[in-house]
């Protein structure tokens, strides 16, 4: 039996592993993706105090550091958590692990546009990661969907690779921070399309050839020629495996107290997966540190 099983190896999960294992707890970190979470999909981290690094570089540094006090790491997809009086059973594919405490740090997944051919064209012109797939669109025209921080950051990143970047915004204002908007406005090959929303995808030879957009006011349709579509329209928490425990709100986020504990005793959560106002690397590490230290104190 482990003292603590952490589900998710992003900044929150890794920070919890660091604090708990450093305090003497036996810790297992489980993740179904690359360690570091969304850090691996971020071109550059500019708002983590003391560091300006490429996302994957920070992810690797965190992973090495946070496992340096004896925490173990295993790859696997958690399917459910069984709650017993004296232990928690974490089900991973066909395995089961026993633990005293659980820390959920599974983060979020990208929201889909919900338009025809989106699923079929994923990997054939539709991508949810500019850092991963941007090089495939060198000197081509691409569309970025969304007006928040992620969309504007990715549009700016793509502008250094693509011939032209079309930014499609449903409303007539951008929700992104002014700093990011100013940075984007300096790019001559970015064109902003306000009051437009994706309607459908045009395809030639099984690849994206255009995006049909709908005017948010008139409903009029128009076509933008593009070879790539990058939606950044929001995120949904990855909590399907714990919804039966009654610890999530109407949007799927987990409610926690000041110690990061949910309303099921012994199950904690942190990072992007919890109900809070700011989801950043620095707030995720804060959540993990609080939970890891508190859980370690319970073992003494």
Residue 264 is given by DSSP the state S
Bridge-partner residues for 223, per DSSP? 212
Q: Comparing 2-109+235-298 with 112-231, is the CATH topology the same?
A: yes
Banded pLDDT at 224 (limits 50, 70, 90): very high
Q: Which of 258, 294, 288, 289 minimizes the C-alpha distance to 273?
A: 288
| Whether domain 2-109+235-298 has CATH 3.50.50.60 | yes
Predicted local distance difference test score (pLDDT) of residue 205? 95
Is residue 132 annotated as part of the catalytic site, yes or no? yes
Predicted local distance difference test score (pLDDT) of residue 117? 96
**Model confidence over 139-149: pLDDT tens digits?**
999 999 999 99
Residue of 129, 177, 215, 236 marked active site: 129
Asked if pLDDT for residue 43 goes beyond 80, the answer is: no
| Whether domain 112-231 has CATH 3.50.50.60 | yes
Is residue 143 annotated as part of the catalytic site, yes or no? no
Predicted local distance difference test score (pLDDT) of residue 41? 79
Residue of 3, 91, 93, 132 marked active site: 132
How high does pLDDT run on average in the chain? 95
In this structure, what are the phi and psi dihedrals at residue 245, rounded to the nearest 5 degrees? -85, -10
Asked if pLDDT for residue 226 goes beyond 90, the answer is: yes
Is residue 129 annotated as part of the catalytic site, yes or no? yes
Predicted local distance difference test score (pLDDT) of residue 84? 87
Do the Cβ atoms of 131 and 157 come closer than 8 Å? yes
Residue of 3, 84, 91, 133 marked active site: 133
User: What is the per-residue burial (b if ≥16 Cβ within 10 Å, else e) of 149-177?
Assistant: bbbbbbbbbbbebbebbbbbbbeeebebe
The domain limits of the chain are 2-109+235-298, 112-231
Asked if pLDDT for residue 52 goes beyond 90, the answer is: no
Do the Cβ atoms of 10 and 36 come closer than 8 Å? yes
Neighbour count for residue 249 (Cβ, 10 Å):
12
**Model confidence over 273-284: pLDDT tens digits?**
999 988 999 999
Cα separation, 33 vs 31, whole angstroms: 6
């Amino acid at each position: 039996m482990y003292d603590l099983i952490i589900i998710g190896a992003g900044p929150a999960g890794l920070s919890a592993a660091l604090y708990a294992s450093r305090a003497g707890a036996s810790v297992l970190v489980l993740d179904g993706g690359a360690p570091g979470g969304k850090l691996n999909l971020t071109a550059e981290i500019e708002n983590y105090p003391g560091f300006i690094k490429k996302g994957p570089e920070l992810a690797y540094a965190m992973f090495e550091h946070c496992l340096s006090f004896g925490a173990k790491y295993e790859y696997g997809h958690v399917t459910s958590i069984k709650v017993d009086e004296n232990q928690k059973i974490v089900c991973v594919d066909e395995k089961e692990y026993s633990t005293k405490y659980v820390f959920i740090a599974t983060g979020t997944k990208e929201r889909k546009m919900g338009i025809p051919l989106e699923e079929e064209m994923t990997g054939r012109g539709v991508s949810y990661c500019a850092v991963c797939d941007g090089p495939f669109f060198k000197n081509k025209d691409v569309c970025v969907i969304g007006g928040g921080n992620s969309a504007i950051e990715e549009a700016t990143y793509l502008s250094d690779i693509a011939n032209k970047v079309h930014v499609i915004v449903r409303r007539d204002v951008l929700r992104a921070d002014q700093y990011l908007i100013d940075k984007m406005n300096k790019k001559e090959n970015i064109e902003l399309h306000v009051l437009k929303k994706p309607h459908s995808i045009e395809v030639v030879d099984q690849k994206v050839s255009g995006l049909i957009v709908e005017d948010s006011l008139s409903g009029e349709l128009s076509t933008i020629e593009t070879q790539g579509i990058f939606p950044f329209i929001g995120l949904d928490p990855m909590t399907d495996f714990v919804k039966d425990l009654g610890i999530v709100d109407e949007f799927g986020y987990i409610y926690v107290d000041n110690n990061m504990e949910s309303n099921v005793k012994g199950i904690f959560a942190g990072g992007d997966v919890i109900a809070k106002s700011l989801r950043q690397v620095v707030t995720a590490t804060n959540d993990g540190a609080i939970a890891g230290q508190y859980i370690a104190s319970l073992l003494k």
